[in-house]
């Protein structure tokens, strides 16, 4: 079982928080902070597994994470999950995000948290892996966006929020201009991460 899925950036700002057991908000924030401190001090070339002690309540839990550009994707899992399998799942999730957002970057996650959740819900539900085939996931996400769009056009007209995924990048750019971010967010580079563990094509 997966106990929690956390995405935060290099400064520990949460971008996606999904706990599969109920915890009070303060506890959640505490866990995010501690997890961030645990992963932060590990450089990129050491292993992606981390024993987290009793951070999540049980001794059985383990943190499995990947670091992409400005973002950390952390999965907290128990012993029934395969470590390498979860690593691949993170990869699948990120690649799916990349497909759905067309060159995903941190700003997409910032401004479209709801969409990221909806994509995640096609991958994992209730702490259990639902689908690992990226094409299937993308197909379901797109079918639902289509449904949403159809509703939006038919009844209320295009609203800003329902702009769809394709509108995301341009808005993200304008956001950068508006805010004058000190660091220009890079794309999550899926191409250059070196996946030694089972090739995705082999795995699926």
Partner 1 sequence: MALKMVKGSIDRMFDKNLQDLVRGIRNHKEDEAKYISQCIDEIKQELKQDNIAVKANAVCKLTYLQMLGYDISWAAFNIIEVMSASKFTFKRIGYLAASQCFHEGTDVIMLTTNQIRKDLSSPNQYDTGVALTGLSCFVTPDLARDLANDIMTLMSHTKPYIRKKAVLIMYKVFLKYPESLRPAFPRLKEKLEDPDPGVQSAAVNVICELARRNPKNYLSLAPLFFKLMTSSTNNWVLIKIIKLFGALTPLEPRLGKKLIEPLTNLIHSTSAMSLLYECVNTVIAVLISLSSGMPNHSASIQLCVQKLRILIEDSDQNLKYLGLLAMSKILKTHPKSVQSHKDLILQCLDDKDESIRLRALDLLYGMVSKKNLMEIVKKLMIHVDKAEGTTYRDELLTKIIDICSQSNYQYITNFEWYISILVELTRLEGTRHGHLIAAQMLDVAIRVKAIRKFAVSQMAMLLDNAHLIASNTQRNGICEVLYAAAWICGEFSEHLEEANQTLEAMLRPKVTTLPGHIQAVYVQNMVKLYASILQQKEQSGEKEAAQEITQLMIERLPQFVQSADLEVQERASCILQLIKYIQKLQIKEVPVAEEVIALFAGELNPVAPKAQKKVPVPEGLDLDAWINEPPSDSESEDEKPKTIFHDEEQRHSRHRQPEIDEEELARRREARKQEQANNPFYIKSSPSPQKRYQDTPGVEHIPVVQIDLSVPLKVPGMPMSDQYVKLEEERRHKQKLEKDKKKKKQKKEKRGKHHRHNSLHTESEEDIAPAHHVDIITEEMPENALPSDEDDKDPNDPYKALDIDLDKPLADSEKLPVQRHRNVENLKSPDSEAPLVEKKSKKPKKKEKKHKEKEREKGKKKEKKVVEEEDEKKKSSKHKKKKHKKEKEEKSKDKKKSKKKSHHSEEETTESVQNGTLDDEPLPPMSSYRLLAENPYIKMTYDIQGNLQNDSQVTVSVIFENKSTSFLKSMELNVLDSLNTKMLRPEGSSVHDGIPVPFQLPPGISNEAQFVFTLQSIVMAQKLKGTLSFIVKNDEGSTHEKLDFKLHFSCASYLITTPCYSDAFAKLLESGDLHMSSIKVDGISISFQHLLAKICFHHHFSVVERVDSCASMYSRSIQGHHVCLLVKKGENSVSIDGKCNDSTLLSNLLDEMKETLSKC
Q: For binding to partner 1 (CB under 8 A), which residues are involved? A: 1, 14, 16-18, 20, 22, 24-26, 28-29, 42, 45-51, 80, 82-85, 87-88, 110-114, 117-118, 121, 125-133, 136, 140, 143-144, 147-148, 151-152, 155-157, 159-162, 171, 175, 178-179, 196-199, 202-204
Smallest distance, Å, CB 188 to partner 1?
Answer: 19
Name the residue nearer to partner 1 (CB basis): 102 or 153: 153
Name the residue nearer to partner 1 (CB basis): 23 or 69: 23
Name the residue nearer to partner 1 (CB basis): 125 or 173: 125
Q: Cβ distance 169 to 102 under 8 Å?
A: yes
Name the residue nearer to partner 1 (CB basis): 152 or 169: 152
Residue ranges of alpha helices (H) inside the chain are 25-40, 83-101, 106-111, 113-121, 134-151, 168-179, 200-203
Smallest distance, Å, CB 99 to partner 1?
Answer: 19
CA distance 63 to 83: 9
Q: Cβ distance 2 to 77 under 8 Å?
A: yes
* Helix, strand, or coil (residue 64): strand
Name the residue nearer to partner 1 (CB basis): 99 or 112: 112
Smallest distance, Å, CB 156 to partner 1?
Answer: 6
Q: Point out which residues pair with 50 in neighbouring strands.
A: 63
Smallest distance, Å, CB 197 to partner 1?
Answer: 6
Smallest distance, Å, CB 175 to partner 1?
Answer: 6
CA distances to 27, 53, 78, 147, 170 from 91, rounded to whole Å, are 28, 25, 19, 27, 25
- Ramachandran angles phi, psi of 124, nearest 5°: -130, 130
Taking 3-state DSSP, the helix, strand and coil percentages for the chain, each rounded to the nearest 5, stand at 45, 20, 35
Smallest distance, Å, CB 185 to partner 1?
Answer: 13
Name the residue nearer to partner 1 (CB basis): 26 or 192: 26
């Amino acid at each position: 079982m997966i106990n929690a899925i956390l995405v935060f950036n290099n400064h520990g700002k949460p971008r996606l928080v999904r706990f599969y057991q109920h915890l009070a908000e303060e506890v959640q924030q505490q866990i995010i902070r501690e997890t961030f401190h645990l992963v932060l001090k590990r450089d990129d070339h050491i292993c992606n597994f981390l024993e987290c002690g009793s951070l999540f309540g049980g001794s059985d839990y383990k943190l499995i994470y990947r670091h992409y550009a400005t973002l950390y994707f952390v999965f907290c899992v128990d012993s029934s999950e395969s470590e390498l399998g979860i690593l691949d799942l993170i990869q699948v999730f990120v690649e799916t995000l990349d497909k759905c957002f067309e060159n995903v970057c941190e700003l997409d996650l910032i401004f479209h948290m709801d969409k990221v959740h909806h994509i995640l819900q096609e991958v994992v539900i209730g702490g259990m892996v639902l689908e690992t085939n990226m094409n299937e996931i993308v197909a379901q996400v797109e079918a639902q966006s289509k449904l949403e769009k159809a509703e939006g056009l038919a009844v209320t007209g295009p609203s800003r929020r329902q702009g769809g995924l394709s509108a995301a990048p341009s808005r993200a750019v304008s956001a950068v201009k508006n805010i004058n971010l000190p660091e220009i967010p890079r794309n999550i580079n899926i191409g250059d991460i070196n996946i030694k563990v089972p090739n995705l094509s082999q795995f699926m």
